[in-house]
Amino acid sequence: MKTVDSKLTDVQVTDNFWSNYMDVVINEVIPYQWAALNDQIPDAPPSHAIKNFRIAAKEEKGEFKGYVFQDSDVAKWLEAVAYSFETDPNPELEKTADEVIDLIGRAQEESGYLNTYFTINEPDQKWTNLRDHHELYCAGHMIEAAVAYYQSTGKRKLLDIMSRFVDHIDSIFGHGENQLPGYPGHQEIELSLVKLYRVTNNKRYLNLSKYFIDERGKTPHYFDIEKQKRGDEKKPWWTDEYGSYSYHQAHLPVREQKEAIGHAVRAMYMYTAMADLASETNDQTLKEASKRLWENVTQRQMYITAGVGSMSHGEAFSFDYDLPNDLCYTETCASIGLVFWAKRMLNLEKDSQYADVMERALFNGTISGMDLDGKKFFYVNPLEVWPKASLKRKDRIHVKHERQKWFNCACCPPNLARLITSIGHYVYSADQNEAYVHLYVGSEGELDIGEQKVKIVQKSNFPWDGNINITILPEEEAVFTIALRIPGWSKGAILKVNGDVIDLNDDVKKGYAYISRKWRKGDEIHLNLPMTIEKMKAHPNVRGNIGKVAIQRGPLVYCLEEADNGGNLPSIYLPLNSQLNAHFDKDFLGGMTVITGDAERLDDYGWDEQLYQPAESKRKPTRIKAIPYYAWCNRKPGEMLVWINEKS
């Protein structure tokens, strides 16, 4: 298997933490989602996705059901399946996937067009509403599935199907005679076209991606042009100071955009494509725009869990420092998109700030979207939950206090499955004569460095323990560089090679420790990253977190749950000098490090029936237990809290 975006071949994940997640996805989630796609899960919203393809292929009669983007659920399932084969070949599952691909081929029209909604429901309305109808979005996800399946199995059928569809798309869009000067309402195809270009070496696909990025935000706005053609007089549901364009990040040309705005997932996918194109074409203006938007998202609009998109209306960014804990949206797909973007920014520039955010998202805001057994899911990932408010208040209707079996709009579960099964793609990269270790994930990987393959074996008990052991196994002795990320959360890291201490003051550049030497087979690197418990504060402009702290250890953000700490969690105060202790509990939720310590709680003893009375501070000692945020809501549903009142 040859990955797309680096000189990396075949990473086998051996890490206990991620291997467990991969096993859950392979053994539970992928079969569960296959059942969901075939409407076989009792008491869950029907998908109808596979049946739509059968109807489009004229093998069954019936009507299209589901959202206009229902095809994308099948694509993401196929992509997750493809990545799973890299670590767990499964002939029976591969046979099922091949049959799905055959079905997709039979549903493809003679022109190359492929979309079950329009084939079944509105064959005369293709490409008439790019703003709302997700044709290019669905194409993008199917392209990603085709690339992944080709890479993991060597089979070209889906790749050829999608190349044929992209050839058709390329004939439809552009500035030539009878072409449409349009671009998608939901970005996705842009990043997938870069992937397709890398495996086919067909530059038309790269140019088509660049075309969609370059066209976005130009005036007159194409969404208005197509709206006039349709005779559509309705006002778009999404309006702000930019009209309806900002929801789609079409309010300005992408190179002029300075802040994240609009639908968060769309933004993440677009920013990913921008960084990819900047890397492939050496476009400095796209690189500068990508870095500018990165700074805005990660320094002004990102939760400590790496959740993005704070506003439920439009599943969108709102404004700088607006990060409410109990109302936030923070869609699972948005954090997944942030991982994609971070990886592409690392391709642009080796700077640990990108890998730090990638790690934060992977260990917090993404996997919180699935319970530990892979059978229930969160669409929304809040940082504070009061179940009664979620059930009664309309402004919190999106905030669930327990995970759901499935969703009518089921984009998040298959998106998370494809991310987890591809985790090996995020650990390493190689650039000429340098190898980079971005994530500390137990694994065995081969990288092309110089003129030879170099095997890297990484062992650790991360994220519970910061001791990392890496063995370097080149085919022959050679001089090259190994660069290891020193995480931003780490204080006092110690690095050794074959027992000799490396001075991190001299060799760290942009958060990476560069070790250049003649490497021999069996050379050992030991990196110790102290796992200090930190009480984190938010910027003073984050109003909801003034006077509060969050607990973090290593890359993990912690939370309080009612199951351990009782109800009314906002009544708990954490003293400034409180001693917090971490210990690994092998019997707790499958084994994880929990944090305990002394705190105080408001004492309501003696409070009479009056709703208000003169202020009087009464607190009593209490003990708290904090668990990793990703693991909340795996017991009896109840309150949850990340940001805790601080007592000075």
Catalytic residues: 315, 411
Q: Where does residue 77 fall: left (phi above 0), alpha (psi -120 to 50 degrees), or beta otherwise?
A: alpha
Q: How far apart (Å, rounded) are the C-alpha atoms in residues 253 and 242? A: 13
Do 368 and 354 contact (CB within 8 A), yes or no? no
Closest CA to 62 of 48, 43, 44: 48
Number of CB atoms found within 10 A of residue 81's CB: 27
Q: Calculate the alpha carbon distances from 470 to 6, 183, 340, 456, 527 in Å.
A: 20, 46, 25, 7, 8
**267 Cβ partners below 8 Å, 6+ apart?**
187, 249, 260, 261, 317, 337
Do 407 and 67 contact (CB within 8 A), yes or no? no
Q: Residue 534 is encoded by which pair of tokens?
A: 């930190």
For residue 173, what is the DSSP state? B
**23 Cβ partners below 8 Å, 6+ apart?**
none
Q: How far apart (Å, rounded) are the C-alpha atoms in residues 267 and 249? A: 7
Q: How far apart (Å, rounded) are the C-alpha atoms in residues 541 and 115? A: 46
Q: How many CA atoms lie within 13 A of 202 on its CB side?
A: 15
Closest CA to 410 of 44, 31, 28, 140: 44
Q: How far apart (Å, rounded) are the C-alpha atoms in residues 470 and 440? A: 10
The owner of tokens 């209490």 is 622
Q: Residue 48 is encoded by which pair of tokens?
A: 């109808």
The two beta strands, 644-647 and 572-575, are: parallel
Q: Residue 587 is encoded by which pair of tokens?
A: 């019997």
Do 190 and 209 contact (CB within 8 A), yes or no? yes
Q: How far apart (Å, rounded) are the C-alpha atoms in residues 113 and 166? A: 9
Number of CB atoms found within 10 A of residue 256's CB: 11
Closest CA to 586 of 13, 16, 14: 16
Q: Residue 369 is encoded by which pair of tokens?
A: 């979207």
Q: Residue 193 is encoded by which pair of tokens?
A: 């076209």
The owner of tokens 């429901």 is 121
Angle at 323 between CA 322 and CA 326, to 5 degrees: 130
Angle at 483 between CA 433 and CA 82, to 5 degrees: 80
Closest CA to 456 of 442, 464, 446: 446
